[in-house]
Amino acid sequence: MLLELLKKTRSYRNFDPKRSVKKEELLEIINLCRFTPSTVNRQPVRFAYAFEKEVCQSIFPHLAWAGMIKENKPPYPGNEPTAYILLCYDTNVSQKSPEVDMGIYAQALVLGAMEKGLGACILGSINKPALSEIFNLPENLVPRLIVALGGPNEEVILTDAVGGDTRYYRDSQGKHYVPKLPLEELVVEM
Ligand SMILES: Cc1cc2nc3c(=O)[nH]c(=O)nc-3n(C[C@H](O)[C@H](O)[C@H](O)COP(=O)(O)O)c2cc1C
C-alpha cells in the first residue's frame, strides 16, 4: 500500500556496511524516473551513480548531513552510504535547475529504493564542483541533489508535530524522530 511505503520511506543516514548495492539495482531504481511527470515533458534531469567502495568514500566528505543535529551527527563511522545516485540538470535543456521535476524524480528514487529494502537520504547540501569532478561530468550537467543509499541501519520514528515544531531530533540512543504536521494543519478549508 502506498501509505505504508511512504511511512517506511524515511531519510536514513546510517547504513549497514555489509549491504552492498549492485549496479543493476541502481539502474532499476533510476529507470522508475522514466515514468514520472515532467514539466512540458522536457525530462531535463540526468543521473550518475556510484557503488564502488573507493568512489563512495571519495563522495562522502562533500556532503552535509542532518543540519539540525549538532552532536553525534550521522552517519556514524562505519555506517556511511554504500551507493549514491546523483541528479543533475542538463543546461542544454534548461539553464535553470528544474526544481519541481527534481523533487518528483528524487521521491521516485527513494520510494523505489525502499521497495528494494534500501534506505535513502536526499541531500541538497552538496559540494557541486567536487562532485562534478568525481563523476567526471561534462560541462552541460550540473549536480543539484544526491541520493545516498544503503541498507537502513537505524530506527527512524514518525511523531506528530506539536505547535508547528517540525525540527527533527535524536535521543541518546541515536533513535531519530521526525515530527510531521497533522492533516488539519495541511488542509486549507474554504
Ligand atoms: C530537497 C531536499 C534536500 C535535502 N537535503 C538534505 C541534506 O543536505 N542533508 C540531510 O541530511 N538531509 C537532507 N534532506 C532530508 C530532510 O532533512 C528530511 O527529508 C527531513 O528531515 C524529513 O525527514 P523524512 O525524510 O524522514 O521525512 C533533504 C530533503 C529534501 C527533500
- Determine the atom of ligand 1 nearest the C-alpha atom of 110: 25
Centre of ligand 1 from the C-alpha of residue 147, in Å: 10
* Integer-rounded Cα radius of gyration of the chain: 17
Tell me the whole-structure pTM to 2 decimals.
0.98
Closest ligand 1 atom to residue 65 Cα is 11
Q: How far apart are CA 138 and CA 181, in angstroms?
A: 41
Please give the distance, rounded to the nearest whole angstrom, from the Cα atom of residue 177 to the centre of ligand 1.
Answer: 13
Average pLDDT in the chain: 97
Q: Which domains does the chain have, with CATH numbers?
A: 2-153 (3.40.109.10), 155-190 (2.20.180.10)
Per-residue pLDDT, 69: 96
Residue with CA nearest ligand 1 atom 3: 124
Q: How far apart are CA 83 and CA 93, in angstroms?
A: 27
Give 76 Cα–ligand 1 centroid separation in angstroms.
17
Percentage of the chain modeled with pLDDT above 90: 95
Q: How many distinct helices (H) and strands (E) make up the chain? A: 6, 8
Q: What's the gap in Å between 8 CA and the centre of ligand 1?
A: 15
Q: How much is the pLDDT for 179?
A: 98
Q: What is the pLDDT of residues 155-169, one digit of tens each?
A: 999 999 999 999 999
Query: Comparing 79-88, 90-99, 128-137, 140-149, which segment has the lowest mean pLDDT?
Result: 90-99
Considering only residues 159 and 72, tell me which one the structure prediction assigns the higher pLDDT. 159
State the alpha helices, DSSP H only, in the chain: 2-8, 23-31, 53-59, 99-115, 128-134, 183-186
pLDDT tens digits for range 93-123: 988 889 999 999 999 999 999 999 999 999 9
Q: Of all protein residues, whose CA lies closest to atom 1 belonging to ligand 1?
A: 124
Average pLDDT over residues 132-143: 98
pLDDT at 185: 95
Tell which atom from ligand 1 comes closest to the C-alpha of 126: 8
